[in-house]
């Protein structure tokens, strides 16, 4: 009824195919879709091939998402929200292409409704597209060489997104430099070039609105492009009004608050290809009266939380030299069954890591073990979110990881993911 010749995909899937609708604040989801379009194998997993409006069309489409530790199948019909025959949410720039609108509807079904997609974090949809390893950095609070990490992530076919801080003005005001406040973007690439004899590290960013671009240094109309080689200009420069733009790494850090990287493997965290990472997931729960002990300050009950042991063997050359010191990534995710995303109430969660003395062999460490003992690592604070993570370094030895909620007797299921560099060994 919308068009006479509907197509699921027209000339491939691209980040430039769509624009965000005017009635739904789900830029976090569409920024993740922009990242998804770069990886055909992941696209085919989320949106299985051999679907079309053609022969034997039955009015339904099939999608797959990774939700809270497992892949789920989602089937939707082809009815889409319209006003006067026009799509009101995400819409394709090609009038008869419908994969973006159908993908959005399938994800809305997973979340409970379109309204339940209002506001969120890029990391949520990136994880739901991949089931992969997720790392998150606050841009102005890390010593990591982020540009090099992002470069490795691009080569590893990772999906990346970023977001800006909310300003004092309600809504999503546009700053004079073209950046939208309180908004999610896709990171679509990095590039290093030479300008007037000096190296410049650039980041390419996409606005899911399909328009609205940065207008500062290295933007589409910046005169700085006159100072680079013709080959670099041809590789990078575009005058299209498509919402995508380049900016220096320095301007990226100054204008965005965080970056999320999601990849099927954490190997991109290495500064060389000599080392690999292994990942293990544990499913457990905090149960009232037995294993819901609350944060470490609750000295009488903290020990009752689930406990996980890990052994770190000799450090590899990268860790020992400080080139890429982190050798463990820990993620803690709350698992929810409530269909309606907006009704989910996350507890404040975190985890603490303790060094185990060599002589201690207990299967479950008692309360006295934790008295006057400070963790060697821990999440910065307990946060009321679906997932918390931390990337850090542990010296050789045996450790205890204790995930917990902020308060005792808060009941929830959770998934603890532990990724370690080769040379480390895990045991429950």
Taking the C-alpha atoms of residue 238 and residue 17, their distance in angstroms, rounded to an integer, is 17
Q: Are 243 and 210 in contact (CB under 8 A)?
A: yes
For residue 153, which phi and psi values (nearest 5 degrees)?
-65, -40
96: tokens are 């008869």
Contacts of residue 142, defined as CB under 8 A and 6 or more positions apart, other chains included, come to none
* Residues identified as active-site: 27, 183, 207
Q: Are 181 and 204 in contact (CB under 8 A)?
A: no
Question: Where is 35: in which H helix or E strand?
Answer: helix 27-36
Bridge-partner residues for 200, per DSSP?
193
CA distances from 424 to 224, 303, 317, 415 (A): 47, 25, 13, 20
CA distances from 380 to 159, 253, 349, 402 (A): 25, 21, 11, 14
What DSSP designation does 173 have?
Answer: P
């Amino acid at each position: 009824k919308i068009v006479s010749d509907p197509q699921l995909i027209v000339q491939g899937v691209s980040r430039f195919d769509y624009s965000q609708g005017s009635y739904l604040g789900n830029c976090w989801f569409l920024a993740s879709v922009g990242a998804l379009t770069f990886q055909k194998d992941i696209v085919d997993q989320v949106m299985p091939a051999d679907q079309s409006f053609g022969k034997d069309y039955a009015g339904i489409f099939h999608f797959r998402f990774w939700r809270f530790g497992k892949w789920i199948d989602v089937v939707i019909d082809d009815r889409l929200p319209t006003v006067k025959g026009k799509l009101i949410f995400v819409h394709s720039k090609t009038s008869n292409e419908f994969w973006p609108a159908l993908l959005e509807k399938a994800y809305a079904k997973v979340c409970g409704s379109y309204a339940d997609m209002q506001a969120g974090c890029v990391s949520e949809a990136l994880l739901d597209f991949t089931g992969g390893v997720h790392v998150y950095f606050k841009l102005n609070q890390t010593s990591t060489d982020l540009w090099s990490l992002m470069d490795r992530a691009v080569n590893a076919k990772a999906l990346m997104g970023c977001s800006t801080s909310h300003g004092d003005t309600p809504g999503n005001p546009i700053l004079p430099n073209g950046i939208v406040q309180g908004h999610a973007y896709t990171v679509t690439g990095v590039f290093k070039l030479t300008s007037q004899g000096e190296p410049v590290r650039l980041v390419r960013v996409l606005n899911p609105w399909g328009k609205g671009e940065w207008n500062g240094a290295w933007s589409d109309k910046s005169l700085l492009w006159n100072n680079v080689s013709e080959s670099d200009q041809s590789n990078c420069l575009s005058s299209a009004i498509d919402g995508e733009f380049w900016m220096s790494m320095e301007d990226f850090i100054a204008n965005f608050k965080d970056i999320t990287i999601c990849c099927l493997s954490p190997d991109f965290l290495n500064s060389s290809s000599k080392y690999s990472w292994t990942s293990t997931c544990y499913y457990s729960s905090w149960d009232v009266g037995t294993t819901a002990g609350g944060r470490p300050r609750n000295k009488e009950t903290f020990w009752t939380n689930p406990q996980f042991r890990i052994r770190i063997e000799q450090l590899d050359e990268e860790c020992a030299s400080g080139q890429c010191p982190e050798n463990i990534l820990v993620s803690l995710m709350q698992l929810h069954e409530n269909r309606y995303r907006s009704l989910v109430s996350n507890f404040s969660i975190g985890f603490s890591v303790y060094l185990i003395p060599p002589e201690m062999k207990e299967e479950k460490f008692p309360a006295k073990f934790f008295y006057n003992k400070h963790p060697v690592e821990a999440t910065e604070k307990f946060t009321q979110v679906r997932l918390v993570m931390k990337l850090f370094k542990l010296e050789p030895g045996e450790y205890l990881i204790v995930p917990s909620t902020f308060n005792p007797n808060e009941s929830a299921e959770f998934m603890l993911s532990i990724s370690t560099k080769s040379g480390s060994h895990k045991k429950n």
